[in-house]
Amino acid sequence: MSKFGSSSNKKEVPQASSNSLSDIVFMLLFFFMVTTQMRETENKVKVVMPEASEVAKLERKDLSANINIGSPTLQYQAMYGTDARIQLNDSFKTVADIRDFIAAERDAMSEAERSLMTVNLRVDQDVRMGIVSDVKQELRRCSALKIMYAARKPAKD
């Protein structure tokens, strides 16, 4: 009993060590570094991906080329309207530009990995299929045949 609360005990309560704090923060940091990827381009079109329960993960993210299709975001609507547009890299493009885009993406890859390239179609759920079909036909003409319809897993209930 004399150990607690007695005024005769002059030992100070040791300060909680903050040594581990930096470790914890670093661990969080590493977690985010590993699980996230750099935002490469600014999104100029709104893409809300449709839900699909049978989605599979893309194994090689570095071997994918992204094509975004959706209606322009608010700040670009004055210029481009609200009709669905194609965004490649950083700018609005048309179907005719896909050929050059695919060629450029292929060039950036090593020879052995070119055949593994996947075109990731990130399409907004409200887009009509017409433009998507046009893009698909163009991809077939460029013989970029591996594609992926980007979708998200529905939240479990």
Site string for other proteins, 77-116 (x = CB under 8 A): ----------------------------------------
> Which range binds other proteins by CB under 8 A, 1-9, 53-61, 88-96, 97-105?
53-61
- Residue 93's beta-bridge partner residues? 86
Closer to other proteins by CB, 88 or 123: give it: 123
How many residues of this chain bind other proteins (CB under 8 A)? Answer: 56
Which residues, at least 6 apart from 47, have a Cβ–Cβ distance to it below 8 Å? 68, 69, 70, 122, 123, 124
Angle separating helix axes 98-107 and 129-141, nearest 10 degrees: 50
Identify residues 6-25 at the interface with other proteins (CB under 8 A): 15, 18-19, 21-22, 25
Closer to other proteins by CB, 108 or 145: give it: 145
CB of 149 to other proteins, least distance (A): 5
Closer to other proteins by CB, 6 or 22: give it: 22
d(CA 66, CA 85): 14
CB 97 within 8 A of CB 111: no
The secondary structure element, H or E, covering residue 42 is none
62 makes contact with other proteins (CB under 8 A) = no
CB 65 within 8 A of CB 103: no
Task: Give the residue from 111, 88, 90, 113 showing the smallest Cα distance to 101.
Answer: 88
Residues binding other proteins (CB under 8 A): 15, 18-19, 21-22, 25-26, 28-29, 32-33, 35-39, 49-58, 61, 64, 118, 120-121, 123-130, 132-133, 136-137, 139-141, 143, 145-153
